[in-house]
Amino acid sequence: MDPIAALEEIAFLLERDRASAFKSKAFRKAAGIIGDVPAAELAERVRDGRLKRTAGIGDTTFAVIADAVEGRVPAYLVALREKSGPVSGAASTGLRAKVRGDLHSHTDWSDGTTPISTMARAAELVGLDYLVISDHSPNLTIANGLSAERLLDQLDVLDRLNADGGIRLLSGIEVDILLDGSLDQSPEMLDRLDVVVASVHSKLRTESKELTERMLRAVRTPRTNVLGHCTGRLVEGSRGTRPQSTFDAEAVFAACAEHDVAVEINSRPERQDPPDDLIAIALEAGCRFSIDSDAHAPGHFAFLELGAARAEANGVPAERIVNTWPAEQLVEWAAQR
Ligand SMILES: [Zn+2]
Ligand SMILES: [Zn+2]
């Protein structure tokens, strides 16, 4: 087995299982360390003990690499596959199989754990045709949100990666909806991006009328394409739980329908946002939807299965879901705003 593929699959499964990021990072780091070492040289280093003494290679990662080099599926991977189940990709059935892209993902430019290229490879692995890189905006300092300058640098990187081939990368942002409902990036900058996801990340407990006004202003702002995780609730997971925010869902979703802003079905197991009753209101209002992973690590693309299952269970038709469209159609739709 290819040792890099083994290390990356282990990392993917750990991320999907939401194990500590410390663990998955060790495997990704090891993959990076041996990335440029030719196979024969790597085998030599395993045999003569040099690899074991290499900084960044621990006992566990060494055992995985040694197993793979010696032609075995590493024991660690065998055990993890048994516990966690296989990496399923394009073979999925139902609505998930119709999802062609993901409009919401993070990289190590903000609070994601891996470089853009690693996220791109993983998105391809799960069968996507396109991926929007939507790192955080400046206001979210805790997540290392991107200044306009850094975002411009990121656009150059996306151009270079797209020129190299592989999955199509679209530019984007998860822009904070500020307290007054304005967006946390200049209109000129937002204009340069393919897709704009706007989300509330602060003062989630604001009383309903004020929060409704704040969200309405963001939805009406030209360039907003997707309303991200609209209630901000957390239903499980290591960050604990958080109740959903309260706002006038009829009014906000009516504005989404009027301005053709898609309501995000956030696939993260700890978010499951919006709740079922709000999906019903958005459906009734005539909204479009996007099923997004909100991935912060490659393994999180597997969450799309969960988001698609929720959309399906709530009777959201595929034609109302913008990321079932081909990239061209999606980009054209987003540009109309
Ligand atoms: Zn967010
Ligand atoms: Zn996000």
Strand, coil or helix: 228:
coil
Question: Looking at the domain assignment, is residue 90 inside a domain?
Answer: no
CA of 134 to the centre of ligand 1 (A): 10
Question: Looking at the domain assignment, is residue 185 inside a domain?
Answer: yes
pLDDT at 322: 98
CA of 290 to the centre of ligand 1 (A): 14
Cβ 189 vs Cβ 148: under 8 Å: yes
The closest ligand to the CA of 292 turns out to be 2
Task: State CA 247 to chain mean position distance.
Answer: 26
User: Do 80 and 103 have their domain in common?
Assistant: no
Question: Looking at the domain assignment, is residue 268 inside a domain?
Answer: yes
Alpha-carbon torsion 17, 23, 24, 30, what sign? negative
pLDDT at 337: 85
Question: Looking at the domain assignment, is residue 89 inside a domain?
Answer: no
The closest ligand to the CA of 173 turns out to be 2
The closest ligand to the CA of 296 turns out to be 2
Question: Looking at the domain assignment, is residue 319 inside a domain?
Answer: yes
* Domain around 9: 3-84
User: Do 139 and 288 have their domain in common?
Assistant: yes
The closest ligand to the CA of 232 turns out to be 1
Residue type, 270: E
Residues bordering ligand 1, an ion, CB closer than 5 Å:
199
Q: Where are the beta strands (DSSP E) in the chain?
A: 101-102, 130-133, 168-176, 195-199, 226-227, 262-266, 289-292
pLDDT at 93: 66
Peptide bond just before 274 cis, omega within 30 deg:
yes
Cα distance from N-terminal residue to C-terminal residue, the chain: 48
The closest ligand to the CA of 295 turns out to be 2
Which of 6, 19, 176 minimizes the C-alpha distance to 87?
6
CA of 213 to the centre of ligand 2 (A): 22
For the cut 80, the answer to whether the pLDDT of residue 95 exceeds it is yes
Q: Over 11-62, what HEC string results?
A: HHHHHHCCCCHHHHHHHHHHHHHHCCCCHHHHHHHHHHCCHHHCCCCCHHHH
DSSP state of 264: E
Alpha carbons within 13 angstroms on the beta-carbon side of residue 303 total 28
pLDDT at 11: 96
The closest ligand to the CA of 112 turns out to be 2
Cβ 105 vs Cβ 134: under 8 Å: yes
pTM assigned to the model:
0.93
Neighbouring residues of 224: CB distance < 8 A, sequence distance ≥ 6: 183, 196, 198, 218, 259, 261, 337
CA of 109 to the centre of ligand 1 (A): 15
CA of 46 to the centre of ligand 1 (A): 43
CA dist., res. 106 & res. 118, Å (int): 11
Of 50, 84, 118, which residue sits at a domain end? Answer: 84
The closest ligand to the CA of 293 turns out to be 2
CA dist., res. 228 & res. 289, Å (int): 10
CA of 314 to the centre of ligand 2 (A): 23
Q: Please give the tally of structural domains in the chain.
A: 2
User: Do 184 and 282 have their domain in common?
Assistant: yes
User: Do 53 and 125 have their domain in common?
Assistant: no
User: Do 105 and 225 have their domain in common?
Assistant: yes
CA of 324 to the centre of ligand 2 (A): 20
CA of 297 to the centre of ligand 2 (A): 11
Tens digits of per-residue pLDDT, 98-154? 999 999 999 999 999 999 999 999 999 899 999 999 999 999 999 999 999 999 999
Tens digits of per-residue pLDDT, 41-70? 999 999 999 999 999 999 999 999 999 999
User: Do 76 and 99 have their domain in common?
Assistant: no
User: Do 107 and 75 have their domain in common?
Assistant: no
For the cut 60, the answer to whether the pLDDT of residue 91 exceeds it is no
Of 84, 106, 127, which residue sits at a domain end? Answer: 84
CA of 84 to the centre of ligand 2 (A): 24
CA of 159 to the centre of ligand 1 (A): 25
Cβ 201 vs Cβ 229: under 8 Å: no
Question: What CATH number is attached to the domain comprising 10?
Answer: 1.10.150
Of 56, 84, 112, which residue sits at a domain end? Answer: 84
CA of 173 to the centre of ligand 2 (A): 9
CA of 228 to the centre of ligand 2 (A): 8
